[in-house]
C-alpha cells in the first residue's frame, strides 16, 4: 500500500518557530503543561535533525565494523579478534 504524501512539510526553522509561538501562547494562557510539551517537542525536532545530519548512519557504522574486523583478521595475531580470546584461563 503506498504511503500518503504529507501536504505540509516544514523546515527545521519553521517547525521551531511554530513550536515557539505555541509555547508562548501556552505561557500567556498560564498552561504550563502545554508550554512544557512544546519545549519537549522542540528538543525532539532538533534531535531528529541532528540524527538525520549525522554521518554515522547504520551503513557507515557497518562499514567501520567490517573494516575493523578485516584489519584484525589480517594482522599477525589473526586469532585474537576479541579481547576474550587473549585472556588466559587459570587452572
Per residue in 71-90, is it b (16+ CB within 10 Å) or e — as a string? Answer: eeeeeeeeeeeeeeeeeeee
- Domain residue extents for the chain: 10-53, 55-84
With contact defined as beta carbons under 8 Å apart, do 43 and 23 qualify? no
What is the pLDDT, as a whole number, of residue 66? 74
What is the pLDDT, as a whole number, of residue 5? 62
- pLDDT tens digits along 28-48: 999 999 999 999 999 888 888
Percentage of the chain lying above the pLDDT 70 cut: 57
Amino acid at each position: 500500500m503506498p504511503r500518503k504524501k504529507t501536504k505540509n512539510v516544514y523546515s527545521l526553522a519553521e517547525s521551531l518557530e511554530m513550536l515557539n509561538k505555541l509555547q508562548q501562547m501556552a505561557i500567556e494562557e498560564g498552561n504550563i503543561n502545554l508550554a512544557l510539551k512544546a519545549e519537549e517537542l522542540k528538543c525532539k525536532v532538533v534531535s531528529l535533525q541532528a540524527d538525520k545530519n549525522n554521518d554515522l548512519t547504520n551503513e557507515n557504522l557497518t562499514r567501520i565494523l567490517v573494516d575493523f574486523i578485516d584489519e584484525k583478521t589480517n594482522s599477525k595475531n589473526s586469532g585474537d579478534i576479541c579481547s576474550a580470546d587473549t585472556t588466559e584461563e587459570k587452572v
